[in-house]
Structure 1
Amino acid sequence: MGEPSLFSAFFGSVERVATESDPPAGVYLTVETIDQLWRMALPVGAIRDHPLANPFGPGSPSLEPLPLPPALVVAPERDVLHGHVWRYAARLREMGKPVELAEFAGEGHGFSVGPWSEARDELMRILKRFVNQGAALG
């Protein structure tokens, strides 16, 4: 499978998106946890606009000239990172890159690895179709 599928994408930026500034109630992945994870994952002294956190940040190389394969981006509505994930898909689309955004109302970060649910079943249908379409093109 050559096509990227971003299930629980983890992006950030110095600028807070709406879902970070006003997070959904009762989410287990909080802004404080995300900030701690970035401090552990990024190089010492780096900020959330580092290219590893923000592929469209001021210091990130442009993705525009790259011939990117189609991407499936999953954006759970109740994910504190939803705004970043949605913005990632929108920016790829603006560049003319093939991207499919699958949004899941009422779901949180990592729902795809939790117990069975209708949303998880729907995600598997979307993933199967996405992979099969890519295999048919390749």
Structure 2
Amino acid sequence: MATISLSQMSTNFRIQNHSPVVEEISGLIRVHKDGYVERPPVVPHASCMVPSELKVVAIDVTIDKFTNLWARIYSPSNQQYFSSKLPVLVYFHGGGFCVGSASWACYHDFLTNLARVTCCVIVSVNYRLAPENRLPAAYDDGVNAVLWLKQEGLKGTVNELKRCDLSSLYLAGDSAGANIAYHVAKRLSSISVLSPKGVILIQPFFGAESRTVSEKQLAQAANSALTLSASDTYWRLALPVKATRDHPWCNPFAKGAPRLSDPKLFKTMVCVAELDILKDRNFELASALAGVGASVQTVIYKDVGHAFHVLHNYPMARARNHEMMIHLKGFINQ
């Protein structure tokens, strides 16, 4: 099982003859004044091969060759599902909008198992990254991925999508990917044929200029993948230049942000990690959505930190990861 090892994040950057470094998250990303971006290979990439005993098949598909938008599709291959339509889950990986890939081994393993446990087809979107492509590029890619999915579902040219029940479409993601899922859902809510049935937000990455209690006081857990400093850096790299963390894409309660109740209330699941600095923001969003009448299921996972589902190289994370998959299955199939 591939995992992210936090100790690996001290990986040395190559010595390059570039201008001074202006932004850096140790071991993950370094941005130079001339615009050059370095991302060391801290996480291995995986091909779309899946062991046959897992009863899941995966393929990579091109969505838009001009923006290099592609996705990895996971489809249960167990014979018992061949006669029935399956829910479809469009998934966006985490990484602060700046790092990560649908081919990262940790996500490949997680989503292979999620497809197997939940018995749904998963479309893992490889969206454009900041700072080369600042927001809203990732949101645009998310909308385009859903449009492509609907079109391909109607045409029936992708075998792995032929058993999709497009009336049972869910958007999901973790961390920055959850932020993308939220904003894509808001964009699609006014289009009835594209509107998702529900949204799954796993440790959603939001922020604001003001700090929450958990951001100020929660000690950084040894197995948590996000620090407050890294969070601030991601936002500086992802938001429009000179924007603050009170930009509507960062702060869902800011002036100009999509109305929580407008125009459609999705059933929503919010997965919170107890040791995550984003814990209070996650609870705040879940409470606000419930306050305007949305059906919200909030689950807190004890004794684990941010991105525990891909940091499953320790026993507690593995246990909580299994719990979360069971909860996701229940939410999707309820």
> TM-score by structure 2 length?
0.38
Cα distance in 2 for residues equivalent to 1:112 and 1:68: 27
Q: Which amino acid aligns with 1:97?
A: A
Structure 1 or 2, whichever has the larger Rg, is 2
How far does residue 51 in structure 1 lie from its aligned partner after superposition? 1.0
Gaps spanning 5+ residues in structure 2: where? 1-168, 171-197
Deviation readout 1:74-130 (Å, 9 max, x if unpaired): 110111111111101010011111111011111111112222611111100100000
Q: CA deviation at 1:38?
A: 0.4
114-123 vs 89-98, greater mean Cα deviation:
114-123
The worse-fitting range, judged by mean Cα deviation, of 45-54 and 33-42 is 45-54
1:42-57 matches, within 5 Å, as: 42-57=239-254
Match of 1:12 in 2: 207
Match of 1:76 in 2: 273
Higher relative strand content: 2
Q: Which residue, 326, 330, 333 being the options, matches 1:125?
A: 326
State the secondary structure of the residue aligned to 1:74.
Answer: strand
In the alignment, structure 1 segments of 5+ residues that lack a partner are 134-138
Root-mean-square deviation (CA, aligned residues, Å) is: 1.4
Cα displacement (A) at 1:50: 0.8
User: What secondary structure is seen at the aligned counterpart in 2 of 1:40?
Assistant: helix
Counterpart mapping for 1:26-37 below 5 A: 26=221, 27-37=224-234
The aligned residue for residue 39 of structure 1 is 236
SS in 1 for 2:282: helix
Work out the CA distance in 1 between the residues paired with 2:216 and 2:311.
Answer: 26
Partner-residue secondary structure (3-state), 1:9: coil
Secondary structure in structure 2 of the residue aligned to 1:112: coil
- Structure-2 separation of matches of 1:41 and 1:68: 27
2:203–2:279 contact (8 Å) kept in structure 1: no
SS in 2 for 1:71: strand
> What SS is found at the alignment partner of 1:6?
strand
Counterpart secondary structure, 2:299: strand
Q: Which has the higher helix share?
A: 1
Corresponding residue to 2:287 among 86, 90, 103? 90
Deviating more after overlay: 36-45 vs 3-12 = 3-12
C-alpha distance in 2, partners of 1:75/1:8?
A: 5
By relative contact order (CA 8 Å, sep 6+), the higher-ranking structure is: 1
The whole-number CA distance in structure 2 between the counterparts of 1:63 and 1:7 is: 18
Could you tell me how far apart the structure 1 residues matched to 2:308 and 2:225 are?
Answer: 11
Residue-pair matches, total: 133
Give identity over the alignment, percent: 35
User: Which amino acid is 1:13 matched to?
Assistant: A
Runs of 4+ in 1 over 4 A off after TM superposition: none
Q: Secondary structure at the match of 2:300?
A: strand
